[in-house]
Structure 1
Amino acid sequence: MTPAPSRDHVSGPSTALDRGFGTLTQASPPPVPRCGLERVCWSAEIPRQLRLLQWGGGRPRGQAGLRCHLERSACGRRGQASRGAHAGRSAARTWASLAATAPSRAGLTARGGSHSTSHVLRRSLGAQRPGHQDRDHRVLSVSGPRRAGLRRRGHGWTGRGARRGAWTGNLLDLDTFSKSDPMVVLYTQSRASQEWREFGRTEVIDNTLNPDFVRKFVLDYFFEEKQNLRFDVYNVDSRTNISKPKDFLGQAFLALGEVIGGQGSRVERPLKGVPGKKCGTILLTAEELSNCRDIATMQLCANKLDKKDFFGKSDPFLVFYRSNEDGTFTICHKTEVVKNTLNPVWQPFSIPVRALCNGDYDRTVKIDVYDWDRDGSHDFIGEFTTSYRELSKAQNQFTVYEVLNPRKKCKKKKYLNSGTVTLLSFSVDSEFTFVDYIKGGTQLNFTVAIDFTASNGNPLQPTSLHYMSPYQLSAYAMALKAVGEIIQDYDSDKLFPAYGFGAKLPPEGRISHQFPLNNNDEDPNCAGIEGVLESYFQSLRTVQLYGPTYFAPVINQVARTAAKISDGSQYYVLLIITDGVISDMTQTKEAIVSASSLPMSIIIVGVGPAMFEAMEELDGDDVRVSSRGRFAERDIVQFVPFRDYVDRSGNQVLSMARLAKDVLAEIPEQLLSYMRTRDIQPRPSPTANSSPTPAPQ
């Protein structure tokens, strides 16, 4: 086990003496348990009526506070030592709170748990895919519900007031003379090795079956990845090892996307893992950190830059770099080139704060000044460094930076600088993010269309792209499972329309380019991704693969449904899996252009060895798709050939993860582009008192 994060110092038993709890005789402290907790409960002898059950406490990042639970041996009544004042939390980081909690099975009772805990999730900027700008990197936290109408009385909660945090409810009671002392351990799973690794731990809440935690976990959230989480709950007795089976109170498995996609980004899950026992529940809530939505807008100019062109002045431009944890730098922005001047004034530009400094306001930002050359061998003029915090000061005054060339500075004793750069203006605004819309209730509706043309080969033969091997999934099934398992977390009803095209249907042998895989024309919905796969396998046994390959009918079908929704509550994602050359290119282009004004995105996955030049044309990354002189309003198509993501070692899980990461990466920005063009703002998040999304049946 990885040791728990460092915890604040807490006073020893002498503090209890100072507070008048009687004379305590301190016994030899037990060894520190292997769980890594720094706070150790001490055994103590209590004269006559008073017996010290437990002590510990304090909160993360605060002053140490003693909390003693006492029991009167004579009458059995309990008292509780007053806690030390909790110091203010550190202001160095801005957490938009996020919490992990768990209510009791019967709902919130009048007497809840004792302290609150939050779990927080954080993501940092990763490497950019060539040709793409920084993806939407956001920091999240997971925390518990705000229990309105509760106030402290004794060591329960009742009455009025409000509190937020995370709590687990109706836990198993493993202590003989008191209640359990629970702690939650969070594990994350590696997609490559499938191994679980400890990520962090909450504090220990003593003597309660309904703990409400405080500590947050900060995790990185990626929409395009399946991020599996495991929450293990333990009863921590300082005189035992938490690895012993008797200390295990239960566990819950779920994906981070399930938390984000839950109603109000809140989900409730039962704790399981103890045979024959009801372990209680855990409630998780996710929120996005505030600096993930900030957009910085700035304008710069330069004065007296070095002359680099022989027959004229310089053609300067700026390159911004964000510093990384390992000391390297990552490019995050380039300005335009201002031709033939030593005193350029660049146009104002905007950049996400997360891209500029990864949420760390004091992180170094390096800015290089270059002279543009046509052949790409741009001449280095000089550089200077700053930080987001320093840049933000320009909201009230101009800031001037000296541009220095290290080589010139070393060679010339009288060298001063290679010019100056002045920050003329700097402002910060907030924008709505993908998580804002999901948290406000926007649902992602997933539709599947599968190619049943004869070019795929006989499904009964191992050479067929549809071959149903008992040992591994076909490329079609892998693509469907990879994309669907991620998107389904953002669809509350988990019902997905699934169609096939290019087949002859029994009994008449009619050719269809849009038939429901479940053979139900009135309701083509399948229950979950497993239901889609089951219907797909059943269709392979009943239909005859034929042709040709038409995309337009199924695109138009989804577009008709999407056209009925214009309030931002629904967004449609169509996955088309195909093996060959499209036969209705003109009609498909027209369908895409029409669909580009609707809340809709299209993912095309090409399987097999074919050359997919036509699909690249539909992608529209370089040239926007057009039809009859009309261009698509937005880029809504993403195409990838499946063969580019097949793992050489044959690891299907890794292959599916790679595929999903690439094809889904553009969905958040495509959704945002639709909302912006329609001026649709996210709906308010459901209140903390509303019911969280329950576990799927």
Structure 2
Amino acid sequence: MVNFAKWGPIDKDVIVLASEIDRQFGHIPDGALIEFRFSCKNILDMDALSKSDPILIGTENRFVRLNCPYDRKIGTTEVKKNDNNPVFYTPLYTRVRKIDLKDHVMRFFMLDVDKPDHPLTSLTSHDYIGETKVNMLSVLSEPSCTFTTRLAWEDKDPRASMDGMSNGMKFGGLAYRSHGALGTITVSANVVDETVEHAMVSFSLSAAGLDKMDRFGKSDPYVIVRRALTPDAVVGSPGWVPVYRTETVKKTLDPTWQPASISLCGLAANDLHRQLMFEVYDWDAGSADDIIGYAITTLADMLAGNVSIPVINTEKAAKAARKKKSYDNSGMLTISNTQMTPISGSELGLPAPLDNIELLAWERWTVDDVVCFLVREHKYDVELAERFRAAEIDGFGFVALNDSDLKELGMTVIGRRKRLLGLIHQLKRDSDSVASNRGARASRGLGGAFAM
């Protein structure tokens, strides 16, 4: 994996031939939806009388190597209360173009939330814990698209120069310094299969006859659902990522949990045959939670009807085998009433699909998109792009520019103005052509039906 912390300022170049990208990533469609999931261990304790309350914020910059100074926020996880070993169940999503793989840098930084009702951009309301950066090309090259690395500190809080994270943030050189006490972060990426339409999945969970884990009581069970990262993932390997957790039901060996509802892409990456592991734990107040056992199935089996699976504790099974005693299971887990309800990606808050030529979709451009278009695609200098940003020119404003507007923006050379106006005219013409073709396809009834 590319180690940006080792490099220091992010102005190095990774030389990757187009043919090599095609060889490695030919299975990934252009514009693919990528899901990121996160867990951390031993993060820095920022609170005097309790543990940290961490939240993770994700940003991306597709054009770092061409010195475009803006990150775009892609989302935030949930806040984990009083937890220095957080597992985040809210994924973050983005899309990739193969042409941008080596230039597409993801940045994930963590805050300790002190005042939940204050905006995350407030430097005095939340503490900066640390962060990591990863090149998209590198993370997709990792085994199982998963890596673990130390959190690092920048020289200053990355929010210091933000003008509201929803509008992007500006940063200069990314000079890292390591800090061993910050903890580690594990990042898992997954390509979501969008040949299956998006849906919400609902199901009910219950168990019977679970092992008694508490000396003076029964058990306090809860379930963590994990998705296999690869088809050959085995129990006990790091090839599983947590995607859902139930509430804890106190003092029972026969729990019934609240019905679950999770997106199909969040649960199984839109893959009905992806292995799902249901791990049953016993919650303990003063020590690490005990695992009762696990059960494995697939969403396809869950949709076929109610599923009742033995909960297996590998340690107890191995111990019984050594002593030549019998071991059946540590209880039975029942998954019932599984249903899928179609839903659009926009309703799930997923990034919009890219057009065949992403740059034609100027109607969706933000101010930052205009800036990156100028700097990355057409090599305009950052100083000029800054003036476009200061004038708050988004996609609609960009295509409406005229010669006098460009003069006001500081383009004094007539040849440069004419070339940019010609570029805008071509952008509008090509975009109209794409929209016309898309409308013709829709009128012929080529929309896809919901696929099971």
Q: Under TM normalisation by the shorter chain, which class is it?
A: 0.3 to 0.5
Task: From the CA coordinates, give the structure whose radius of gyration is larger.
Answer: 1
Q: Which has the higher contact order (CA 8 A, sep 6+)?
A: 2
Question: What TM-score results when the alignment is normalised by the length of structure 2?
Answer: 0.42
Q: Higher helix proportion, which one?
A: 2
